[in-house]
A and B are shown apart, each in its own frame.
Chain A
Amino acid sequence: MSTERAAWRMQFRLAYAEKQGSEFESFVRDLMELAFPGDFIPVAAAGSEGDRKCDGLLPSPRRFLQAYAPKTFNKNQLLHKINEDYRGAIEHWGDRFDIWTLVHNSREGLPPYAVERLHDLSVDDTSHHICEEWRYGQLVQVAMELSDDDLADLLGPPLRPADFLQVEIADIVDLLRAIEEVTPTEMAPINPVPHDKLQRNQFSRDYEDYLRQGMRRTDRVQRYFDEQVGRPSYRDDLAARFTTKYRLLKDESYSSDAIVDELLAWIIPPPSSLKVQAAALAVIAYFFEQCDIFESSMEMKA
Chain B
Amino acid sequence: MILPTKGIRPDRALITIGGEIIDILREPMTISGLWSTLRDRRSVSSTREVSFDWFVLALDMLFAVGVVRLGSDNFLTRRVR
Instruction: Please give the residue numbers on chain A whose beta carbons come within 8 Å of chain B beta carbons, in ascending order.
Output: 187-188, 190, 225-226, 229-230, 232-236, 239, 290, 292
Contacts and interface: CB of A to CB of B under 8 A. Distances in A.
Interface stretch (B19-27, B30-38, B43-51, B66-74): B43-51
Nearest to B3: A190
Identify whether the interface residues of A are mostly helix, strand, loop, or mixed. Answer: loop
Contact of A236 (B8, B50, B51, B53): B8
A226 B9 CA distance: 9
Interface in B49-65: 49-51, 53-54
B12 interface: yes
5 contacts: A190-B6, A233-B5, A235-B8, A236-B6, A236-B7
Given A232-B8, A236-B8, A239-B6, 18 more contacts: A190-B6, A225-B7, A226-B48, A229-B48, A229-B49, A229-B50, A229-B54, A230-B54, A232-B7, A232-B12, A232-B50, A232-B54, A233-B1, A233-B8, A235-B7, A236-B5, A236-B7, A239-B7
The 9 closest A-B pairs by CB, nearest first: A235-B7, A236-B7, A230-B51, A236-B5, A229-B51, A232-B12, A232-B8, A290-B6, A190-B6
Given A229-B49, A232-B54, A292 B1 contact: no
A239 B8 CA distance: 12
B47 to A, nearest CB: 12
A300 B21 CA distance: 43
Contacts of B7: 225, 232-236, 239
A209 B7 CA distance: 26
A188 B6 CA distance: 9
A190 B8 CA distance: 11
A187 B5 CA distance: 10
Contacts of A225: 7
A9 to B, nearest CB: 32
A294 B1 CA distance: 24
Nearest to A190: B6
A49 to B, nearest CB: 59
A232 B5 CA distance: 10
A230 to B, nearest CB: 4
Contacts of B50: 229, 232
Contacts of A229: 48-51, 54
A5 to B, nearest CB: 35
A187 B51 CA distance: 24
B9 to A, nearest CB: 8
Contact of B6 (A226, A230, A292): A292
Contacts of A239: 6-7
Nearest to B8: A232
B52 to A, nearest CB: 9
Contacts of B54: 229-230, 232
